[in-house]
């Protein structure tokens, strides 16, 4: 059987067309499969994208909330000194004595006690950083002589302190010799210390170290 040149060209063109169509459908099928996969992924991601868009729309609110939170932490830390020596505590008691009119007779100090350790954002060298903070408790027992109004003033002074101060216990007895009261205060202060925490020693009050008449003979 002889095939004319024209028929041969036609058959070759037909074979080429069939090969092209087969390749097209193969590629189209793979493309459609990938398209369906991408659409499925997009449908899964759409709720997450919508959620992220909502977060972005409220970004300013969140940033302001973070600033407010950092400020509240900074303000709260001011109530807790980073360090307090016994002489600092003594200055506080001397100030209470001066303001309330009581007369201190004895003072004793407890060793600092570690209460808790935790990470916290603090300001160091003008920057907000996360530091390992240690919470301490220091205590003192002070005995003094006073009257009832002075006792009330002393209690108010303790609770009005800018630094975190607690009156753990108080015992009061009548002093028959003076006609006044003898009170024993158990007072605690709480500290938050970290590496690089600022410390400012309390200013000691000016006192006279000598007298011209030691035994009061004049």
* pLDDT value of position 5: 66
Could you tell me the two tokens for 182?
């003898």
161-200 pLDDT tens trace = 877 888 999 999 998 888 899 999 999 999 888 888 888 8
Q: Report the share of the chain in percent with pLDDT over 70.
A: 77
CB count in 10 Å sphere of residue 123: 14
Which backbone phi and psi does 86 adopt, to 5 degrees? -60, -35
b/e per residue, 50-60, with b = 16+ CB within 10 A? eeeeeeeeeee
∠ Cα 10 13 17 (to 5°) = 135
Residue 102: count of CB within 10 angstroms of its CB = 24
Whether 15 has a pLDDT exceeding 70, the answer reads: no
Mean pLDDT of the 87-92 span = 90
pTM tops 0.75, yes or no: no
């Amino acid at each position: 059987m002889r095939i004319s040149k024209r028929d041969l060209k036609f058959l070759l063109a037909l074979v080429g067309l069939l090969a092209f169509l087969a390749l097209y459908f193969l590629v189209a099928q793979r493309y459609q499969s990938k398209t369906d996969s991408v659409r499925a992924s997009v449908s899964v991601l759409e709720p997450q994208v919508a959620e992220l868009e909502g977060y972005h729309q409220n970004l300013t609110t969140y940033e302001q909330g973070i600033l407010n939170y950092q400020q509240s932490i900074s303000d709260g830390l001011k109530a807790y000194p980073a360090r307090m020596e016994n002489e600092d505590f003594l200055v506080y008691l001397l100030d209470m004595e001066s303001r309330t009119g009581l007369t201190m007779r004895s003072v004793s100090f407890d060793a600092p006690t570690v209460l808790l350790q935790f990470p916290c954002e603090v300001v160091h060298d003008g920057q907000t950083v996360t530091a390992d903070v240690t919470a301490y408790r220091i205590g003192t027992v002070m005995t003094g002589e006073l009257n009832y109004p002075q006792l009330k003033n002393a209690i108010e002074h303790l609770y009005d302190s800018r630094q975190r101060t607690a009156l753990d216990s108080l015992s009061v007895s009548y002093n028959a010799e003076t006609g006044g009261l003898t009170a024993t205060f158990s007072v605690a202060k709480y500290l938050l210390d970290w590496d690089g925490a600022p410390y400012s020693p309390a200013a000691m009050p000016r006192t006279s170290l000598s007298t011209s008449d030691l035994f009061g003979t004049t």
